[in-house]
A and B are shown apart, each in its own frame.
Chain A
Amino acid sequence: MSRILPYPALAAALLVMWLLLNQSVAPGQMLLGSIVGVLAALAMAALRPEKPRIRRLGLVLRLVALVTIDVARSNLAVARIVLAGGRREQTSAFLHVPLRLTDRHGLAVLACIVTATPGSAWLEYSPARSCVLIHVLDLIDEQQWIDTLTNRYETLLLEIFQ
């Protein structure tokens, strides 16, 4: 099974993408999409990446919901800061956050979440110190930021990936 179809989730995702792009679920498109998916999965296997282990799928949904709420909130916050213009005080700052998460895929997801959220950006990660440098646009309480990051996201990602 794993030799014919080494990355079933990737192949399935590509099939769904193919069907969405073609706006059709005709048998012919299903066949073409499956061929693309299987070939891509075989190509991926040739690269031999470390396979991510997603342990608890239910938590992924919870993470998506959390991120959506937080991104919506910070969208409004950053829009307000921008529209307020020069009348605000300088509050942007760099911030070091120690992490317990060491899984590469978990870190990649966390980096994308932090950067995709308006108002915070992931700048640098040190595997030796398990520490990340983040830039925050509106830094009021440093400890609150560290708590949000580690309690809200990192704990979930630890359960999902490690």
Chain B
Amino acid sequence: MSDMAEMPVAVAVLVGLLVVGGAALTAAGCLGLARLGTFYERIHAPTLGTSFGALLVLAGSAVYFTAGGGRLAVHEVLIFVFVSITTPVTLMLLAQAALHRDRAEGSDEVPPPIDSDAA
């Protein structure tokens, strides 16, 4: 495993851009989680980190270890596949729980169940 200093400049720049780009998107997502107003708005923020945030960081990792290790390193693909399959499921469960709670409290902010006649 070589370090960044021994790498061709172009590769090092590419890895840097990918990792910083991914980290910036993830940071924006985290900021959104803190900044946005309602629960249903906040549910949109973490997907920044789990979609292109993760994709860019993992791509950076794949390029770095492929260039530095001298062999193809693509097992990052697995991380991305599992993150992008499992996060939506968790978010949908959280959203359903929030909907159920808000309806039980009789909140006006959420629409009634689709199956009820009011929908």
Contact = CB atoms under 8 A, between A and B. Distances in A.
A78 B45 contact: yes
B100 to A, nearest CB: 10
A132 B115 CA distance: 11
Contacts, number: 116
Nearest to A127: B115
Nearest to B114: A126
A23 interface: yes
Contact of A121 (B25, B31, B92): B92
B25 A79 contact: yes
Nearest to A79: B28
Q: How large is the interface on B (under 10, 10 to 19, 20 to 34, 35 or more residues)?
A: 35 or more
A83 B31 contact: yes
Given A115-B91, A135-B43, A83 B28 contact: yes
A21 B78 contact: yes
Interface string B89-105: 10110011001000000
Interface of B: 25, 28-29, 31-32, 35-38, 40-41, 43-45, 47-48, 50-53, 73-75, 77-78, 84-85, 87-89, 91-92, 95-96, 99, 110-111, 113-115, 119
Interface of A: 17, 20-21, 23, 71-72, 75, 78-79, 81-83, 85-86, 90, 92, 94, 96, 111-112, 114-126, 128-129, 131-133, 135, 137
20 contacts: A23-B73, A23-B75, A75-B53, A78-B47, A79-B28, A81-B32, A82-B28, A83-B28, A85-B35, A115-B47, A115-B87, A115-B91, A115-B92, A121-B91, A124-B96, A128-B115, A133-B111, A133-B114, A135-B40, A135-B43
